[in-house]
Amino acid sequence: MNYLAHLYLSEDSPESLLGSIMGDFVKGTIGDRYPLKIKKGIKLHRRIDAYTDSHPTTRASRKLYSPARRRFAGIIVDLCYDHFLYRHWPEFADMAIDQFIRRIYDILMAHRSALPARLAAMVPVMIREDWLGSYQDLMGVEKALNRLSQRVTNGDRLSGAIEEIKLHYSSLEANFLIFFPDLIHFVQHFQRS
């Protein structure tokens, strides 16, 4: 899952939200570097990623992409699933998505000094370009893919991925709608433990 889903699935506290987005930026053992709720948010992020990668429906979504893009299929699916979460938001959340996104941006700015340096540097750009809101349409997904292509080795293979997304859009959306309730159940179980 990508940023929007991780934030949606987080416990409803600033620390947990921070931890949920920090998961991609904190590597290795967490130790005592962060307060308990941030650590739990990071752990949840990692568990969500592992669950997502192993879920049969997500694996089916990854197999829809051509062999040339297969190495990046997980990333592409994560971005697609954030797009579908945005589009189906009212089915999963009571708070309006615009209100949710504003709240996230406010929390990120207020706690920016607690974030890993790379993430802290990204926050103003994320807000200015409204990364979370951009998932509402495929043009935003394409922009996210282009940003990623600049940061990863062989990122040029992400070029044109939007065409494959369009080709398999209905299947990807159906897979998301099967997978996401399972993920919510998994997260609820994790949070109770």
pTM above 0.85, yes or no: yes
| 120 CB-contact burial (10 Å; exposed 0-12 / middle 13-18 / buried 19+) | middle
The one-digit pLDDT tens for each residue of the chain (193 residues) are 789 999 999 999 999 999 999 988 888 888 788 899 999 999 999 999 999 999 999 999 999 998 888 888 898 999 999 999 999 999 999 999 999 999 999 999 999 999 999 999 999 999 999 999 999 999 999 988 888 777 766 667 777 888 999 999 999 999 999 999 999 999 999 888 7
Answer yes or no: are the C-beta atoms of 107 and 119 closer than 8 Å: no
Q: Per DSSP, which regions of 7-143 are E strands?
A: none
pLDDT of residue 154: 66
pLDDT of residue 45: 94
* Token pair recorded at residue 61: 């979504």
